[in-house]
Amino acid sequence: MTSLSTLSTTAPLWVAARPQTFLHLAVRTYSGVAVTTFNTSSLARNRSSPFTYTSKRFISSTPRSQIKEYFPPPTTPGVKEVTSAWVHPVYTESQMESVKIAHREATNWSDWIALGTVRVFRWGMDFATGYKHPEPGQETSEKFKMTGKKWLARFIFLESVAGVPGMVGGMLRHLRSLRRMKRDNGWIETLLEEAFNERMHLLTLLKLAEPGWFMRLMVLGAQGVFFNGFFLAYLVSPRICHRFVGYLEEEAVLTYTRAIKDLENGQLPEWNELKAPAIAVQYWQMPENQRTMRDLLLYIRADEAKHREVNHTLGNLNQEVDPNPYQTQYRDPSKSHPSKGIENLKQTGWERKDIF
The response to whether 97 counts as a known ligand-binding position is no
For 1-13, the DSSP string reads: ---GGG--TTS-E
DSSP bridge pairs for 27? 13, 34
Query: Which residues are CB-contacts of 122 (< 8 A; sequence separation ≥ 6)?
Result: 251
Check the annotation: does 159 bind a ligand. Answer: yes
CA 36 – CA 63 distance, rounded (Å): 24
198 is annotated as contributing to ligand binding: yes
> Is the distance from CB of 193 to CB of 60 less than 8 angstroms?
no
320 is in an annotated binding site: no
Q: Which residue, 235, 83, 105, is CA-closest to 168?
A: 235
Burial of 328 (0-12, 13-18, 19+ CB in 10 A): middle
12 and 64 Cβ atoms separated by less than 8 Å? no
Catalogue the E-assigned strands of the chain. 13-17, 22-28, 33-39, 42-48
DSSP track, 226-255: HHHHHHHHHHH-HHHHHHHHHHHHHHHHHH
How many of the other CB atoms lie within 10 Å of CB of 130? 13
Question: Is 312 annotated for ligand binding?
Answer: no
Determine whether the annotation assigns residue 249 to a binding site: yes
DSSP 30-83: SS-EEEEEEETTEEEEEEE-SS------TT--SSS-S-S-SSPPP--TT-----
Annotated binding site: 159, 198, 201, 249, 304, 307
* Binding residue positions for Fe cation: 159, 198, 201, 249, 304, 307
